[in-house]
């Protein structure tokens, strides 16, 4: 079958050392249930789920503890049975070192499941099936954790040409998909068949880098006994990042999905092989997503893949693999695209495909960055056909608009450019910086637009209230005004409304009072005066009287 498949290629890419072998010697092991599970509520792209439990509640394995917040979100579940000891902020497996809401569960050791029922997706509407998968917490397990139910939608045409399953696993050190394909090929294919039906896809292509012959053989063997001949296993050349969704789609189908468009509109949709397995478990067994296969590799005595319950501390997991004494960091993901963790005491989540243990020796500090010499190596290596040095320049100078013009958001942060850069510039760090700044500005702009609308609405409301008041007043006094107008000789002089009359009376009264008060008050500083001072005062008073006399005619005129 392989020979029939015509392959295409993507531009750029690199060939880093793969380091995959050490973790594939031993079969997948089940990591022991820890003494405490810290399960973050927000484990997928989209809205953070709302907690459904509180401290003191008993939970069963697979019980939903966080409800999807709207459709772009995904539920979370208890990974084992036990007692909720807290719903609180805990350190996240995130570079920021910030905390977020987690459900902390103390396992009771019984590992007792909730009732599990297979879901008959053939009898259900597509929407009901998608809702079911959302509530089963199924998300993309390649690392992006995009809710799968949103992608299981055939798009405009209602059917799909090709469903691509991504088993390329191009990132160094990571082998979780490899061992999954080797050991669970049959169930993975059942998942693929379910997805093919849901998407009405004419064919399924499983793309695997040709450095995984065991996985390819296992899947081919499993599909040989399968009646479903639309599923094809395709070996693709080993070149990082062949496992990028766009790159794999391009290699397998030759289709290039333009920026900002959905691959479904081109008849293709791409899922990770681990996701296909999770869909099989959710639909065929009624099991929500509560664990995944995680590679532990790097600076450890025995690298291996484990089936790990979500919420297990990375520290507990790493301890199973005999970390070497000079270990100084834990990275989630691989060396190219992974994220350094703020501590090793952070939970394994749905996005954790690999816990990479590092040391100064294994990953030495790169030498300091040098100025860009515009050699163009980065552009040659970029699999997304971008111009990394231009994006770098504008990101560094904080000219974000320009960086965006060079398609910053098409960058998949694969790290190829930084890998080949002779000036050792941490290019991806600059792109991540620029992207998050641009996102923050987007959020600010939306807030400003909202404030502008609300402010203008308030102005409108105030204006309207003023007019209404004026109209009411006018109606009330219309009669009175007519009378007044008739009575007044000068028609031009606007009549005073009773309100204004009242005001005038009030003002007059107030003036009257003030005058009376003034007369009563005697200046205080005129007692105990010397003879000289008194004489001076008399002289001043006389002068004032004179001025008053002189001013009188003018005052009268004014009157």
Partner 1 sequence: MLEALLVMALGAVVLGAALGYAAVRFRVEGDPLVEKIDAILPQTQCGQCGFPGCKPYAQAIAKGEAEINQCPPGGEEGIHKLADLLGREVKPLSAEHGIEKPKSIALIDEQTCIGCTLCIQACPVDAIVGAAKQMHTVIAKQCTGCELCLPPCPVDCISMEPIPESVESWKWRYPVVRIVPADKAAA
The 362-391 contact track toward ligand SF4, x by CB under 6 A, reads ----------xxxxxxx--xxxx-x-xx--
Quick one: which of 1, 144, 397, 460 contacts partner 1 (CB under 8 A)?
A: 460
- Reported in sequence order, the residue ranges of 99-159 that DSSP labels E, i.e. its strands, are 99-107
Site size for partner 1 (CB under 8 A): 39
Query: Segment 400-429, which members bind partner 1 (CB under 8 A)?
Result: 426, 429
* Alpha-carbon gap, residue 168 to 92, rounded angstroms: 28
- Nearer residue to ligand SF4 within complex by CB, 294 or 425: 425
- Nearer residue to partner 1 within complex by CB, 97 or 494: 97
Interaction partner, residue 8 (ligand SF4, partner 1, none; CB < 5-8 Å by kind): none
Nearest approach, Cβ of residue 447 and ligand SF4 (Å): 11
Does the protein bind partner 1 through residue 452 (CB under 8 A)?
A: yes
Nearest approach, Cβ of residue 249 and ligand SF4 (Å): 15
Site size for ligand SF4 (CB under 6 A): 29
The residue written with tokens 């478990």 in the block is: 281
Does the protein bind ligand SF4 through residue 257 (CB under 6 A)?
A: no
The stretch among 95-103, 285-293, 373-381, 546-554 that binds partner 1 (CB under 8 A) is 95-103
Which residues face 355 on adjacent strands?
A: 296, 332
Residues with Cβ within 8 Å of 538's Cβ and at least 6 positions away in sequence, in order, are: none
Quick one: which of 214, 405, 444, 501 contacts partner 1 (CB under 8 A)?
A: 444
- Nearer residue to ligand SF4 within complex by CB, 53 or 420: 420
Quick one: which of 234, 414, 434, 495 contacts ligand SF4 (CB under 6 A)?
A: 414
* Alpha-carbon gap, residue 364 to 402, rounded angstroms: 33
DSSP string over 22-37? GGGSSPPEEPPP-S-E
Nearest approach, Cβ of residue 400 and partner 1 (Å): 11
Dihedral sign from CA coordinates of 188, 305, 177, 47: positive
- Nearer residue to ligand SF4 within complex by CB, 318 or 421: 421
Quick one: which of 144, 451, 471, 545 contacts partner 1 (CB under 8 A)?
A: 451
Does the protein bind partner 1 through residue 455 (CB under 8 A)?
A: yes
Q: In the numeric block, which tokens belong to residue 213?
A: 């012959």
The 29-48 contact track toward partner 1, x by CB under 8 A, reads -------------x-----x
Which residues face 76 on adjacent strands?
A: 66
* Alpha-carbon gap, residue 542 to 26, rounded angstroms: 118
CA 349 to chain CA centroid, nearest Å: 16
Dihedral sign from CA coordinates of 538, 544, 548, 550: positive
Neighbours of 334 (CB within 10 A): 24
Interaction partner, residue 109 (partner 1, ligand SF4, none; CB < 5-8 Å by kind): none
Does the protein bind ligand SF4 through residue 207 (CB under 6 A)?
A: no
Interaction partner, residue 461 (partner 1, ligand SF4, none; CB < 5-8 Å by kind): partner 1
Q: Which residues of 177-194 are buried (b: 16+ CB within 10 A; e: fewer)?
A: bbbbbbbbbebbbbbbbb
Torsion angle, alpha carbons of 411, 414, 419, 420, to 10: -50
3-state helix, strand, coil in the chain (%, to 5): 40, 20, 40
What interhelical angle do 213-224 and 176-183 show, nearest 10? 30
Does the protein bind ligand SF4 through residue 236 (CB under 6 A)?
A: no
Element (H, E) at 235: strand 231-236
Interaction partner, residue 437 (ligand SF4, partner 1, none; CB < 5-8 Å by kind): partner 1
Prior bond to 175 cis, omega within 30?
no
Interaction partner, residue 415 (ligand SF4, partner 1, none; CB < 5-8 Å by kind): ligand SF4
Interaction partner, residue 376 (partner 1, ligand SF4, none; CB < 5-8 Å by kind): ligand SF4
Nearest approach, Cβ of residue 94 and partner 1 (Å): 5
Q: In the numeric block, which tokens belong to residue 190?
A: 């059942």
* Alpha-carbon gap, residue 401 to 416, rounded angstroms: 23
Quick one: which of 319, 459, 471, 488 contacts partner 1 (CB under 8 A)?
A: 459
For the chain, report the end-to-end CA distance as a whole number of angstroms.
112
Interaction partner, residue 384 (ligand SF4, partner 1, none; CB < 5-8 Å by kind): ligand SF4
Interaction partner, residue 433 (partner 1, ligand SF4, none; CB < 5-8 Å by kind): partner 1
Interaction partner, residue 96 (partner 1, ligand SF4, none; CB < 5-8 Å by kind): partner 1
Quick one: which of 32, 97, 237, 422 contacts ligand SF4 (CB under 6 A)?
A: 422
The stretch among 3-11, 72-80, 97-105, 529-537 that binds partner 1 (CB under 8 A) is 97-105
Nearest approach, Cβ of residue 427 and ligand SF4 (Å): 6
Does the protein bind partner 1 through residue 98 (CB under 8 A)?
A: yes
> Comparing C-alpha atoms, which of 121, 116, 144, 123 is closest to residue 131?
121
* Alpha-carbon gap, residue 297 to 546, rounded angstroms: 107
Burial of 34 per CB tally in 10 Å (0-12, 13-18, 19+) = buried
Query: Segment 424-443, which members bind partner 1 (CB under 8 A)?
Result: 426, 429-430, 432-433, 435-437, 439-440, 443
Interaction partner, residue 414 (partner 1, ligand SF4, none; CB < 5-8 Å by kind): ligand SF4
Interaction partner, residue 116 (partner 1, ligand SF4, none; CB < 5-8 Å by kind): none
What does the H/E/C string look like for 151-211?
Answer: HCCCCCCCCEEEEEEECCCCCCCCCHHHHHHHHCHHHHHHHHHHHHHHHCEEEEEEEEECC
DSSP string over 521-558? ---GGGSS--HHHHHHHHHHHHHHHHHHHHHHHHHHHH
Q: Give the interface with ligand SF4 as residue ranges (CB under 6 A).
A: 372-378, 381-384, 386, 388-389, 392, 411-417, 420-423, 425, 427-428
Q: Give the interface with partner 1 as residue ranges (CB under 8 A).
A: 42, 48, 92, 94-96, 98-100, 365, 368-369, 426, 429-430, 432-433, 435-437, 439-440, 443-444, 447-461
């Amino acid at each position: 079958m392989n020979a029939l498949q015509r392959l295409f290629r993507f531009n750029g890419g690199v060939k880093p050392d793969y380091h995959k072998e050490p973790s594939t010697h031993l079969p997948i092991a089940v990591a022991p249930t820890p003494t405490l599970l810290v399960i973050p509520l927000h484990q997928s792209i989209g809205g953070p789920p709302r907690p459904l439990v509180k401290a003191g509640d008993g939970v069963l394995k697979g019980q939903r503890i966080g409800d999807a917040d709207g459709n772009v979100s995904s539920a979370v579940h208890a990974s084992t049975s036990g007692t909720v000891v807290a719903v609180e902020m805990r350190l996240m497996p995130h570079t920021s070192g910030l905390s977020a809401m987690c459900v902390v569960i103390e396992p009771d050791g019984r590992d007792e499941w909730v009732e599990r029922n297979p879901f008959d997706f053939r009898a259900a509407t597509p929407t009901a099936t998608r809702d079911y998968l959302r509530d089963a917490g199924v998300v993309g397990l390649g690392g992006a954790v995009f809710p799968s139910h949103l992608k299981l939608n055939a798009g405009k045409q209602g059917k799909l040409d090709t469903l691509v399953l991504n088993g390329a696993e191009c990132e160094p050190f990571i082998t979780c998909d490899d061992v999954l394909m080797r050991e669970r090929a049959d169930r993975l294919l059942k998942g693929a068949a379910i997805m093919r039906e849901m998407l009405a896809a004419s064919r399924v292509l499983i793309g695997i880098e040709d450095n995984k012959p065991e996985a390819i053989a296992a899947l081919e063997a499993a599909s040989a006994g399968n009646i479903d001949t639309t599923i094809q296993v395709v070996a693709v050349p080993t070149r990082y990042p062949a496992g990028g969704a766009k790159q794999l789609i391009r290699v397998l189908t030759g289709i290039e999905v333009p920026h900002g468009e959905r691959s479904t509109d081109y008849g293709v949709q791409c899922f990770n092989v681990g996701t296909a397995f999770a869909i099989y478990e959710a639909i065929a067994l009624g099991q929500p997503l509560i664990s995944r296969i995680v590679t532990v590799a790097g600076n450890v005595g025995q690298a291996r893949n484990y089936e790990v319950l979500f919420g297990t501390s990375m520290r507990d997991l790493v301890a199973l693999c005999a970390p070497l004494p000079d270990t100084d960091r834990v990275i989630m993901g691989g060396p190219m695209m992974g994220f350094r963790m703020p501590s090793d005491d952070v939970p394994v989540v749905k996005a954790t495909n690999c816990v990479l243990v590092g040391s100064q020796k294994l990953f030495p500090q790169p030498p300091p960055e040098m100025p860009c010499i515009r050699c163009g190596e980065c552009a040659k290596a970029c699999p997304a056909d971008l111009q990394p040095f231009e994006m770098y320049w504008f990101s560094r100078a904080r000219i974000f608009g320009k960086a965006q013009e060079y398609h910053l958001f098409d960058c998949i942060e694969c790290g190829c450019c930084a890998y080949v850069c002779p000036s050792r510039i941490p290019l991806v760090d600059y792109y991540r910086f620029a992207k998050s700044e641009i996102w923050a500005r987007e959020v600010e702009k939306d807030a400003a637009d909202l404030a502008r609308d609300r402010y203008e609405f308030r102005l409108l409301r105030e204006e309207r209230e003023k007019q209404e008041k004026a109209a009411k007043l006018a109606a009330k006094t219309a009669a009175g005004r007519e009378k007044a107008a008739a009575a007044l000789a000068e028609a031009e002089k606007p009549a005073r409304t009773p309100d204004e009359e009242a005001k005038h009376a009030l003002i007059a009264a107030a003036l009257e009072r003030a005058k009376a008060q003034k007369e009563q008050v005697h200046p205080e500083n005129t007692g105990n005066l010397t003879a000289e001072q008194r004489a001076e005062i008399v002289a001043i008073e006389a002068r004032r009287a004179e001025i008053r006399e002189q001013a009188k005619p003018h005052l009268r005129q004014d009157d």
